[in-house]
Amino acid sequence: MYLFIVALTLLSGIAVGWSIGANDAANSLGTAVGSKVVSLRQAIVLIMLFGLMGALLQGSHVVATVGKGIVPIHKLDRNMGACVALVACFAACAWVALATYWKMPISTSHSIVGAVAGAGLAIHAPVNWYVMRDIFLCWVCTPLGAAIIGYSLYRILRWVVPKVLPDRYSQSVLSFLILSSGCYVAYTWGANDVANATGVVAGAGILTTDTSVMLGALAILLGIVTWGYKVIETIGTQITHLLPLMAFAVQLASAVNVHVYTLCGIPVSTSHSIVGAIFGVGLVRGMKVLNMRIMREIVVCWVATPFVSGVMSFVVLKSLVLFTRLNAIGAVQ
């Protein structure tokens, strides 16, 4: 039975990782592909390389928070820990799939955090509300921070670059800057998002932190090669229309922002960060960057996600406890 739960948990984690790879890889080098700084194939290789590096080198910070910080899954008995991990992964995965079907822009970070807390509440495990409060605050600060950094950075760059960069070098220097900042985005994305896929797997002691990070990273890579390339191409060639300097400012602002939270071990949405940075950079040019109606829909989805995935995991785990022999009371050792 334990092995069956473990297998299902790993599959759900891999599914979440696949979804992250398929959808969010485009946030890093999509613009570089669109501006033909790199080919699609080169972009995929770079995203995979830097995403993997980020996950392996700094992914463990956020894995610790998702796996042990919100609910001490490692302190539950083995079966219950595995069940919490399974239900949290399953609820996060199910909500991501439903949201994709309903065309809602949701964040996997929000989904997994809500799902872990919901599962903890279902078995009366101690949910660390201080950590939850910090995470919620960081979620609010993520787009705002990225917007402020993006705005400031672009203002400075717009003033400095024409003065210090001779015209004949501008093309190649800007291409290099776009490419390197895109790789930085991929790195921070891998470091922060790998925990969404397999953080709870490590928390439940199913795999060690390093192994779970490796598994999550591989699932993300699978998402990139099987589906992500289409998204990268569409985002780069059809949707984002950024001038090279803007693209650099957006990418750098978003990456710095996510990196700070990653070092603090906070799972944040890399999507929030990129949208915030685009907003900030657009503001410098006085552009009507975001349609208010669209913004409202995004905010509603972002706010609803942790609650919906939390309720889903709460209901599923509560039902499991009620209808099986799982002993919730006293499960915390």
Partner 1 sequence: MKEIRNILGWMGMAEARSILEDACKHVDEVSRTVMALAEAVSAFIKGDINGKIVAIENVRQSEHQADTIRARILDQLSEGLLLPTEHAEWIKLAKNIDKISDWTNSAARLLGFIEGGLTENVLKNMSRSTELIVESVKALGAAIQAMTKDDFTAALVACDNIDRLEHEADDQKKAMIEAVIRAKLEPTNLLLCYNLAEALEGVTDKIGSVGDLIKTLVIKTR
According to the binding rule CB under 8 A, does residue 296 interact with partner 1? no
Q: Rounded to the nearest whole angstrom, what is the least distance from the CB of residue 280 to partner 1 in the complex?
A: 11
Stretch that binds partner 1, among 7-15, 53-61, 290-298, 321-329 (CB under 8 A): 290-298
Q: Compare residues 7 and 300 and give the one whose CB is closer to partner 1.
A: 300
According to the binding rule CB under 8 A, does residue 293 interact with partner 1? yes
Residue 199 identity (one-letter amino acid)? G
- Single out the residue of 83, 69, 72, 10 nearest to residue 316, CA to CA: 83
In the 8-state DSSP scheme, what is residue 324?
A: S
Stretch that binds partner 1, among 24-32, 130-138, 180-188, 319-327 (CB under 8 A): 24-32
283 neighbors 156 (Cβ within 8 angstroms): no
Q: Compare residues 120 and 267 and give the one whose CB is closer to partner 1.
A: 267
Calculate the alpha carbon distances from 296 to 68, 292, 301, 302, 303 in Å. Answer: 33, 6, 9, 10, 11
Pair of tokens at residue 222 = 């699978």
According to the binding rule CB under 8 A, does residue 282 interact with partner 1? yes
Q: Which of residues 211-250 bind partner 1 (CB under 8 A)?
A: 231, 234-235, 238-242, 246
Whose tokens are 């950590």? That residue is 131
Task: Tell which one of 13, 17, 30, 199 touches partner 1 (CB under 8 A).
Answer: 30
- Single out the residue of 265, 292, 298 nearest to residue 199, CA to CA: 265
If DSSP codes are grouped into helix, strand and coil, which group holds residue 332? Answer: strand
The most distant pair of C-alpha atoms in the chain lies apart, rounded to whole Å, by: 73
Residue 268 identity (one-letter amino acid)? V
Pair of tokens at residue 329 = 């009371």
Task: Tell which one of 23, 209, 254, 305 touches partner 1 (CB under 8 A).
Answer: 23
Q: Which of residues 84-123 bind partner 1 (CB under 8 A)?
A: 96, 99-100, 103-106
Task: Tell which one of 15, 275, 317, 328 touches partner 1 (CB under 8 A).
Answer: 275
Q: Which residues contact partner 1 by CB under 8 A?
A: 19, 23-24, 26-27, 30, 96, 99-100, 103-106, 231, 234-235, 238-242, 246, 271-272, 274-275, 278, 281-282, 287-291, 293-294, 297-298
